[in-house]
């Protein structure tokens, strides 16, 4: 505990926690603050001026990070016949229909992203109570209910991330690892920010992007100057 306190004290001394920084500076500071013995994830959090309880203010979607997330994503696909073969060829980790549904019902969920062909949704729909709370329910708006199984699996494996506003209007995601180069992390951060700004719902009034922070898994949050973002907030 003493070592952890000394580490955090040293990190905090490296920047002003009350100051806001340009996005590129914030990313560098968050990366520098990653002092753990494992490769920490660099995360971005955005506080939006929305109330997700209203349907016209929900922010949800997917974005492909140009340099990936640095994580190995396990993909499960509900499909039959040729589409099942297509999914396996594209690199899906688990593929099936009734057999896969039975595994899910038993709590054996060995995937981080779930994709389904449209004809499988009657089957998958019955798994909503299991998949839904884990954020794994396939959704056509997110491109996870599709006949383009190859494209969906490839995108998931390449670093596509899903985002959804929480009750407090906050969206967040991992944008890479501390081992990534500064330019790669910044490109990923900008891609995420741009996706959130494009996803601005019709019901959002006033200031849309209110606060932004970047941090590492074990490090403190570095406040971002909203004016430094790539598009108007």
Q: Quote the pLDDT of residue 35.
A: 86
CATH architecture of structural domain 18-69+160-228: 2-Layer Sandwich (3.30)
**pLDDT tens-digit profile, the chain (233 residues):** 445 556 556 655 666 778 999 999 999 999 998 888 899 999 999 999 999 889 899 999 999 999 999 988 999 999 999 999 999 999 999 999 999 999 999 999 999 999 999 999 999 999 999 999 998 999 998 899 999 999 999 999 988 898 999 889 999 999 999 999 999 999 999 999 999 999 999 888 899 999 999 999 998 899 999 998 854 34
- Distance (Å, rounded) from C-alpha 152 to C-alpha 63? 12
What are the domain boundaries of the chain? 18-69+160-228, 75-157
Structure tokens of 167?
């009750």
- Distance (Å, rounded) from C-alpha 45 to C-alpha 221? 9
Q: Quote the pLDDT of residue 15.
A: 67
Q: Do domains 18-69+160-228 and 75-157 have the same CATH topology?
A: no
Element (H, E) at 116: strand 113-116
> pTM of the full predicted structure?
0.82
- Distance (Å, rounded) from C-alpha 59 to C-alpha 148? 24
- Distance (Å, rounded) from C-alpha 126 to C-alpha 146? 18
CATH architecture of structural domain 75-157: 3-Layer(aba) Sandwich (3.40)
């Amino acid at each position: 505990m003493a070592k952890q306190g000394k580490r955090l004290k040293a990190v905090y001394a490296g920047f002003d926690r009350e100051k806001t920084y340009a996005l590129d500076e914030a990313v560098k500071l968050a990366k520098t603050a990653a002092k753990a013995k494992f490769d920490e994830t660099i995360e971005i959090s955005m506080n939006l001026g929305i109330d997700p309880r209203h349907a016209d203010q929900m922010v949800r979607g997917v974005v492909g990070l140009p340099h990936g997330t640095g994580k190995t994503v396990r993909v499960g696909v509900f499909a039959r016949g040729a589409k099942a073969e297509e999914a396996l060829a594209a690199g899906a980790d688990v593929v099936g229909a009734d057999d896969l549904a039975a595994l899910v019902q038993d709590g054996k969920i060995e995937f981080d992203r779930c994709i389904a062909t449209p004809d499988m949704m009657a089957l998958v729909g019955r798994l909503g109570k299991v998949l839904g709370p884990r954020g794994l329910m396939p959704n056509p708006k997110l491109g996870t209910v599709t006949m383009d199984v190859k494209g969906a699996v490839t995108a998931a494996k390449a670093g596509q991330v899903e985002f959804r506003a929480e009750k407090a209007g906050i969206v967040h995601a991992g944008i890479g690892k501390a081992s990534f180069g500064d330019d790669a992390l910044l490109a990923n951060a900008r891609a995420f920010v741009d996706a959130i700004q494009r996803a601005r719902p019709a019901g959002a009034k006033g200031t849309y992007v209110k606060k932004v922070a970047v941090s590492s898994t074990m490090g403190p949050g570095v406040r971002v100057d909203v004016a430094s973002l790539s598009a108007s907030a």
